[in-house]
Amino acid sequence: MIQESIKKFVIVGGGTAGWIAAATLGNIFRHSEVEIELVESDDIGVIGVGEATIPPLLTILESLGIDLVDFIKHTQASFKLGIQFDDWHTIGQGYFHPFGTLGRSIDGHDFFQCWLKSKSEGDDTPLMAHSPESVLAEQGRFFLPFEAQGTPLASTTFALHLDAVLAGKYLRKFAEKSGVKRTEGLVESVSKSDKGFIESVTLKSGVEIAGDFFIDCSGFKGLLIEEALETGYEDWSEFLPCNRAVTVQTENMGDTTPYTIATARAAGWTWRIPLQHRTGNGYVFCDKYCSDEEAVETLLSSIEGEPLTEPRVIPFTTGVRHKAWSQNCLALGLAQGFLEPLESTAIHLVSKSLALFVRLFPTAECDTQLSDEFNRRVRQDYEEIRDFLVLHYCTTQRDDTPFWRWCQQMPLPEKLKAKLELFKVHGGLIPGTEELFQPTSWYAVFDGMGVEPIGYNPTLDAIDYHKLKQSLHSGKTAIQTSAATQPSHDEFLRTYCPA
């Protein structure tokens, strides 16, 4: 059987998505004849936000052979152990969603069930006392887990806060070293074959760039996937109504928290993302309940330190492209879909999509069985994250503004409804192997938002409760003791990544 392989990839767009794609494909094909060309327009520029990440980013860096210290230095990154959610349940109440797992199973019983059992016996130890990330975050400390082998902190999981523009530049250098060609120019038109495949893009300068496979990383508009191929977009505003964000950067006030802060506000929520050289701030809001002027005022009155930039408003529509892969075109990043950055999932979706594409790698014919499977899985990922985001809103007890009153009676996606019901009745969730947010993430939000199950797994009644209590107590104490000996996050950054 003769297979016509892809000889040239054309990537349109040089934002985070474009350069991650270029770095990944460049790395795969560095010793082959396959050409990769990336086109980006300096006039349009990049969106320049997207500063909080989740742990799988470290796996991408590792798979590309990128040195963590070098990357942190060049992107002014700081470490992230999770997200502090303030005022979501009620004003004045906060909770922490840590990366990583909670506690350890006891006598083969799931840790969360053990904690529920102990709680029912009158133990009031907070769930988060059993999370190394949460305890370290509370104390403002950080260290590298692989340097703490044999301690209860060895399982600590972390990600980075990074400067998105610097990260793009870093990845560009990396990709160019592996042979990716960069062309500056504005794509003005797209040519298609009779069967609807993209054949080439033409720049304003008149230069035509042909290819076998095109990757659309052109941002929200989806220059190829939407404007040329008209794949359509599924709007999910009925579940996640926030549709604008205002952003501003401020100076770093010297306390680089090893976590993101997401604070619920009158018509949405604000983020605070500390980097080494500055802090990123933004207000994600719904324009039905808040004007741009009000949003700017809310954001500016919530920041610490002097603004370094003018406030910038970014409109968006939550949802996903009907087909993220259509014909010989794959859409990544904002061109693929958008879920608000509450759990910092966008950059992860870029790399997860790329990994899936590589697993389902096509020949030049682009068999639709591959793209159908790809699209099914991408949609599943988006739905899973969407439901987890909705959970943060629909469980609120706030009724102080029309926005929060709407959230209390919002429509829920069917799968989320079922998951909530299962948790309430059973007290636990079954992990899904392909899911990004494992049960411990859901438990963190359930617990923080006061969603309580009616009981725990009855098998826990067969356990020696005295032994269980001791085990929980010693686990908690060991985390506290080990965390207290670690350096502050700022100290750690200074020694690990000296300027």
Contacting residues toward ligand FAD, per CB under 6 A: 12-18, 39-41, 44-47, 49-53, 164, 186-187, 217-219, 223, 245, 282, 314, 316, 333-335, 341, 344, 346-347
Report the nearest approach of ligand FAD to the CB of residue 161 (Å): 8
Report the nearest approach of ligand FAD to the CB of residue 360 (Å): 21
8 Å CB contact between 437 and 349 = no
Q: Which residue has the tokens 């350890």?
A: 104
Compute the distance between CA of residue 226 and CA of residue 324 in angstroms, rounded to an integer: 10
Phi, psi (degrees; rounded to nearest 5) at 114 = -60, -45
- DSSP H or E stretch at residue 201: strand 198-203
Which of 198, 223 has the CB closer to ligand FAD?
223
Which of 45, 431 has the CB closer to ligand FAD?
45
Which of 77, 460 has the CB closer to ligand FAD?
77
Compute the distance between CA of residue 249 and CA of residue 167 in angstroms, rounded to an integer: 17
Compute the distance between CA of residue 10 and CA of residue 36 in angstroms, rounded to an integer: 6
For residue 162, CA distances in Å to 78, 159, 347, 372 come to 7, 10, 11, 34
**Cα 295 from chain centroid (whole Å):** 23
Report the nearest approach of ligand FAD to the CB of residue 61 (Å): 14
Which of 96, 111 has the CB closer to ligand FAD?
96
Compute the distance between CA of residue 161 and CA of residue 42 in angstroms, rounded to an integer: 25
Compute the distance between CA of residue 169 and CA of residue 12 in angstroms, rounded to an integer: 16
- DSSP H or E stretch at residue 326: strand 325-326
Q: How many CB atoms lie within 10 A of CB 339?
A: 22
Which of 135, 350 has the CB closer to ligand FAD?
350
* Sequence-separated (6 or more) residues with CB below 8 Å from residue 118: 125, 465, 468, 469, 472
Report the nearest approach of ligand FAD to the CB of residue 185 (Å): 6
Report the nearest approach of ligand FAD to the CB of residue 344 (Å): 4
Radius of gyration of the chain (CA): 23
In the chain the first and final C-alpha atoms are separated, in Å, by 56
Report the nearest approach of ligand FAD to the CB of residue 60 (Å): 12
Report the nearest approach of ligand FAD to the CB of residue 203 (Å): 7
Which of 135, 299 has the CB closer to ligand FAD?
299
Helix ranges, 30-87 (H): 56-64, 68-75
7, 80, 204, 323: the active-site residue: 80
The residue type of 279 is T
**Cα 361 from chain centroid (whole Å):** 24
Which of 130, 348 has the CB closer to ligand FAD?
348
For residue 43, CA distances in Å to 13, 150, 190, 275 come to 12, 53, 19, 27
Which of 117, 348 has the CB closer to ligand FAD?
348
Report the nearest approach of ligand FAD to the CB of residue 93 (Å): 24
Structure tokens, 50 = 């997207």
To the nearest 10 degrees (0 to 180), the angle between helices 414-426 and 439-448 is: 80
Structure tokens, 183 = 């062309």
- DSSP H or E stretch at residue 111: helix 111-120
Which of 10, 407 has the CB closer to ligand FAD?
10
Whether 119 is catalytic = no
8 Å CB contact between 127 and 102 = yes
Report the nearest approach of ligand FAD to the CB of residue 226 (Å): 12
Compute the distance between CA of residue 37 and CA of residue 45 in angstroms, rounded to an integer: 18
* Sequence-separated (6 or more) residues with CB below 8 Å from residue 208: 191, 200, 201, 202
- Residues taking part in catalysis: 80
